[in-house]
A and B are shown apart, each in its own frame.
Chain A
């Protein structure tokens, strides 16, 4: 009786199932709303819905999608290109810098490494608002405002949280492995490159995924640094679409869907990395 694990009584399972059905239906409403609006004419969207039939697009207007992507107020391909450039360089910079630093903090034994580690941990408490203004002033003086540099460069300078995550992971790699490589005459850089990195793919995937999500979603950074619409990211472009063209809700909902779908698709491809990453961030508490 015990091997199969406990099964809860039937009534409890039924109540739980009912609760799950109700709550997940509620959670789906915003998505259904988004997709149905993205297929409606502006006239239908602007009408007050009275019955459930009013929620179904009639007529179905697929043209919202091509229209939104070609809309003069929403340079979709430009925004997408900009976002992808920033995302790619952010992911690359974060993985490179954080894995190097995490290696230096976990595999090399040098005086002062704990000091660096604890200072790094301490900065996680600091709200971005404190440093944001002087950093902006510096980039402004370097005439780098309205370029991608302020958005990308910090990724190459180590993110405290990801360093922490990778350090924990590297500490779990058996010392024998790195010591053996060292005895064989491998340089530290060689060990990092050929032993530690190949063994850390799951952790690096987590870091890559979360830094990608961070860059894709970031709004405050582009809002501070980018002013020319040819430099906008999707976040910035969508927000400015929303504030300037309220009379085009059909296209707006289509554009919102287009920005959301890649993330949901990504979730289905990288489900385990997502769940593990979230769990990892929670378990460190």
Chain B
């Protein structure tokens, strides 16, 4: 009786050994080591020296750049994630109207999201160039330039506050006030993955409800607001959580677009960029480990908060256990 069970245990362990080894070598040990390093002064070259909570205290009370990085990352998360969700949702709704050529448009929206990150970052450095770039050229062509000039004349203070001093077009990556906005604009170009997810979700909204609502005289807006959106909340919620987690780990485009500097004037020093530079440019491994654990704490607390509040707005269909 015991023998088949033992054999199955060994077989199970055997098949799972890649992950078991992976969990031990790439997760458990590194987590323990990272936690230990976070209480140490450690530069790889010399052995780690235990310094208690000094790293954490310095980060939370003295490190100005750490605060800037937190702020930059929060700004990015607060703007890029909701804007991306709303925009992707609108695109998915438009595609769901089932006009001719839907597959063609879907392809166009999707492709930017699979362009290699470094390639799209390099491309956007040039697109966002204030003088010779495509974005400002486009803004100029559709008459935004003239509008801004008039705006800056009538309300100079507001214009300056918004970053349009003297009615100039945005300076994007060369202007501290505009650099994050440039990167947020770049992120909107990559919403295609969410569009595809929403489009799949939209197929699951019961058609009868639309018909019933139409009979009751509900307009298009009401149908979207009271039928589509509630049914789509699980998908919107999923992309919200993944988007927020991703935003706090946002790295490659910021690094490539600013040559790893996070400039101008630290305006694009995002959390993970700062962490990388502390670890692999300054070789302050202990300090960077403390940053990593603070990041983990932020992600866990943030996710829990989003899940808690989500109970109020996420609709998982009537009755429990609908196989989601």
What is the interface of chain A, defined by CB distance below 8 A to chain B? 5-6, 8, 12-13, 16-17, 19-20, 23-24, 27-31, 33-34, 37, 45-49, 52, 55, 97-98, 100-101, 103-105, 108-113, 116, 119-120, 123, 125-138, 140, 154, 156-158, 160, 163, 188, 192, 213, 216-217, 219-220, 223-224, 234-236, 238-239, 242-243, 249, 252-253, 256, 259-260, 263-264, 267, 271, 274-275, 278-279, 281-283, 285
Q: CB < 8 Å: which of B18, B116, B280 contacts A235? A: B116
The 9 closest A-B CB pairs, nearest first, are A104-B15, A285-B238, A157-B22, A282-B197, A110-B12, A158-B19, A134-B33, A16-B97, A131-B30
Write out the residue numbers on chain A whose beta carbons fall within 8 Å of the beta carbon of B279: 132-133, 136
Q: CB < 8 Å: which of B23, B122, B245 contacts A256? A: B122
Q: Report the Cα distance A282→B126, complex, angstroms.
A: 32
Residue of A nearest to B242 (CB): A285
Q: Contact: A112 with B12, CB < 8 Å? A: yes
Min CB–CB distance A214 → chain B (angstroms)? 11
Write out the residue numbers on chain A whose beta carbons fall within 8 Å of the beta carbon of B107: 267, 271
Question: What total of chain B residues lie within 8 Å of the partner, measured CB to CB?
Answer: 103
Q: Report the Cα distance A80→B280, complex, angstroms.
A: 25
Binds A, one of B50-58, B151-159, B171-179, B293-301: B293-301
Q: Contact: B132 with A123, CB < 8 Å? A: no
Write out the residue numbers on chain B whose beta carbons fall within 8 Å of the beta carbon of A234: 116, 118
Q: Report the Cα distance A40→B122, complex, angstroms.
A: 17
- Add 16 more A-B contacts to A127-B295, A135-B26, A220-B276 (CB < 8 A): A12-B97, A17-B97, A17-B100, A30-B112, A30-B134, A30-B189, A104-B15, A105-B15, A131-B26, A136-B279, A224-B280, A236-B118, A239-B122, A256-B122, A274-B114, A283-B197
Q: A112-B9, A217-B116 are in contact. Are A101 and B109 (CB under 8 A)?
A: no
Contact with A along B240-257 (1 / 0, CB 8 A): 011001001101100110
B81 at the interface (CB under 8 A from A): no
Q: Contact: A20 with B99, CB < 8 Å? A: yes
B200 at the interface (CB under 8 A from A): yes
B residues 199-257 with Cβ under 8 Å of A?
Answer: 200-201, 207, 210-211, 220, 234-235, 237-239, 241-242, 245, 248-249, 251-252, 255-256
Min CB–CB distance A126 → chain B (angstroms)? 7
Q: Report the Cα distance A253→B251, complex, angstroms.
A: 22
Min CB–CB distance B192 → chain A (angstroms)? 8
Write out the residue numbers on chain B whose beta carbons fall within 8 Å of the beta carbon of A130: 30-31, 34, 289, 292-293, 295-296
Residue of B nearest to A119 (CB): B23
Q: Contact: B14 with A37, CB < 8 Å? A: no
A-B contact pairs, 5 of them (CB 8 A): A17-B97, A120-B23, A130-B295, A133-B288, A158-B19
Q: Report the Cα distance A110→B259, complex, angstroms.
A: 51
Query: What is the interface of chain B mostly: helix, strand, loop, or mixed?
Result: helix
Q: Contact: B15 with A157, CB < 8 Å? A: no
Query: What is the interface of chain A mostly: helix, strand, loop, or mixed?
Result: helix
Write out the residue numbers on chain B whose beta carbons fall within 8 Å of the beta carbon of A243: 259
Write out the residue numbers on chain A whose beta carbons fall within 8 Å of the beta carbon of B114: 213, 263-264, 267, 274
Write out the residue numbers on chain A whose beta carbons fall within 8 Å of the beta carbon of B305: none
Q: Contact: B8 with A48, CB < 8 Å? A: no
B residues 242-294 with Cβ under 8 Å of A?
Answer: 242, 245, 248-249, 251-252, 255-256, 259, 272, 275-276, 279-280, 285, 288-289, 291-293
Q: Report the Cα distance A282→B201, complex, angstroms.
A: 9
Q: Report the Cα distance A147→B181, complex, angstroms.
A: 37
Residue of A nearest to B196 (CB): A278
Write out the residue numbers on chain A whose beta carbons fall within 8 Å of the beta carbon of B33: 134, 137
Q: A16-B94, A48-B131 are in contact. Are A216 and B200 (CB under 8 A)?
A: no
B82 at the interface (CB under 8 A from A): no
Q: Contact: B125 with A108, CB < 8 Å? A: no
Q: Contact: A30 with B124, CB < 8 Å? A: yes
Residue of B nearest to A219 (CB): B252
Q: A157-B26, A260-B116, A267-B114 are in contact. Are A129 and B272 (CB under 8 A)?
A: yes
B162 at the interface (CB under 8 A from A): no
Q: A192-B15, A275-B196 are in contact. Are A252 and B220 (CB under 8 A)?
A: no
Residue of A nearest to B93 (CB): A16
Write out the residue numbers on chain B whose beta carbons fall within 8 Å of the beta carbon of A17: 97, 99-100
Interface centre among A52, A113, A188, A239, by most chain B C-beta atoms within 10 angstroms, is A239
Q: CB < 8 Å: which of B97, B256, B275, B288 contacts A239? A: B256
Min CB–CB distance B275 → chain A (angstroms)? 6
Q: Contact: B249 with A101, CB < 8 Å? A: no
Min CB–CB distance B128 → chain A (angstroms)? 10
Write out the residue numbers on chain A whose beta carbons fall within 8 Å of the beta carbon of B131: 48
Q: Contact: B119 with A260, CB < 8 Å? A: yes
Write out the residue numbers on chain A whose beta carbons fall within 8 Å of the beta carbon of B90: 19
Q: Report the Cα distance A17→B99, complex, angstroms.
A: 6
Write out the residue numbers on chain A whose beta carbons fall within 8 Å of the beta carbon of B137: 49, 55
Write out the residue numbers on chain A whose beta carbons fall within 8 Å of the beta carbon of B242: 285
